[in-house]
Amino acid sequence: MDMHTVVVGTSGTTAEDVVAVARQGARVELSAAAVEALSAAREIVDALAAKPEPVYGVSTGFGALASRHISPGLRAQLQRNIVRSHAAGMGPHVEREVVRALMFLRLKTLASGHTGVRPEVAQTMADVLNAGITPVVHEYGSLGCSGDLAPLSHCALALMGEGDAEGPDGTVRPAGELLAAHGITPVELREKEGLALLNGTDGMLGMLVMALADLKNLYTGADITAALSLEALLGTDRVLAPELHAIRPHPGQGVSADNMLRVLEGSGLTGHHQDDAPRVQDAYSVRCAPQVNGAGRDTLTHGRLVADRELASAVDNPVVLADGRVESNGNFHGAPVAYVLDFLAIVAADLGSITERRTDRLLDKNRSHGLPPFLADDAGVDSGLMIAQYTQAALVSELKRLAVPASVDSIPSSAMQEDHVSMGWSAARKLRTAVTGLARIVAVELYAATRAVELRAAEGLTPAPATQAVIAALRAAGVQGPGPDRFLAPDLAAADAFVREGKLVAAVEAVTGPLA
């Protein structure tokens, strides 16, 4: 576990905080202001619980059963029961980082003082995170309305000492055993607390935040690989001139063009070697890379805006207001997050598509401007990168299927009380798969483009300094250069890790300075 600490207040949680807790194991602390807000909101809930008038979530049933008034003697059982009955997920276990993000974001909302739970409930959630205990959450169970109910219920179940959880060593054990081993006392839920632990968009939001972080790295990486392919194809960098992009002022387009231009600075390959086969314009996949990559970048900007708004939100039903009212609402509906998750899957698929087209161009002797077929050492005896492009094409096809929106679907539930749902969790799950696939697609272009540039260099042409830095770092990472056919899968896996871990961007930035 990382010793970095994230302090959770009544507001101000950032995307960086989410990534630190989810991926880096940062510790979590509640601020004094958060504890005070929790206590104040709890006093309001306790006062309402003592009154004879029914209040949803405090002294009533839930969903379609909200019309039943629950007597004081049954309210603790009511809160336990909602957690147990809603922990109904099925399928594979969800990744540890997703569950940690889910729990941390629920804790963030609890700390806002709008949910009415006791401070000790919030502190127990922080203790579980800090102990490295990860409740077992399953792939299926959330419709993205009333929040991510089943996933959050599995987390709440672990706080009660029930269900299963994964310990710091990765072993799945009964949650009660893990709590005891770390000196954590299970919570005894009171009025509204079970409901408050379940009503949130925390799973889909956590996956959005992490996808945005991954896509930022991949979009910069894709600018780099597009530049390397342009260089390997002896293309012209004149299309990247800032004055051309200034007259179509989409911000992301200008950023991508600038990134590519900086990668190509000092290249001896671009725009000077077309005497044998002059061409006025490069193909769209080369010439329009800034336009496509840039449009995706602008979509990421919109995604960050939505994520930041949701991070600033207190999502629960009912909510405790500063004036003492406890009001029902629909803020748990996942539509705002679901839409942008689907939007990101669309641009990821299109970025994968244009990336694959450049790879195919590098391998086709009729379009590669003098490169050997499939970049093979001895074409015919060697197949070169022929099947690497097959793999890339299969990944692109998968991303196109994953681009079909989940948020356009809705299956009514809870006896038609919850008659329109967002499917935001499903949108988030498929986006995670798409992001993983996109990294592999970019890695294949990197693998092909660096090999192609090295073949050009063997002919006496000088690549850009940034390109040379990429090739050196990639070879140091164990990815081999041109030569006879060999077992390709290990090279491709190493190239994938090189891209995902940010080493591609780091290699270029060592020469160019920070890229956007």
Which residues are marked as active site? 56
CA distances from 428 to 203, 397, 431 (A): 8, 19, 5
Judge residue 171's burial from the number of C-beta atoms within 10 Å of its C-beta, 0-12 exposed, 13-18 middle, 19 or more buried. exposed
Structural contact between residues 356 and 396, judged by C-beta atoms closer than 8 angstroms: yes
For residue 514, is the peptide bond before it cis, meaning its omega torsion is within 30 degrees of 0? no
Q: Which residues pair with residue 27 across a beta bridge? A: 5
Q: What is the rounded CA–CA span in Å between residue 38 and residue 124?
A: 13
Strands 27-30 and 90-93: unpaired
Task: State the pairing for strand pair 134-135/5-8.
Answer: unpaired
Contact present, 114 and 196 (Cβ < 8 Å): no
Distance CA 407, CA 117 (A): 31
Give CA–CA dist 374/365, Å, rounded: 7
CA distance 167 to 173: 7
The Cα 395–Cα 388 span in angstroms is 11
CA-CA distance, 402 to 434, in Å (whole number)?
7
Number of helices (H), then strands (E), belonging to the chain: the values are 19, 9
CA 458 to CA 471: how far, in whole Å? 14
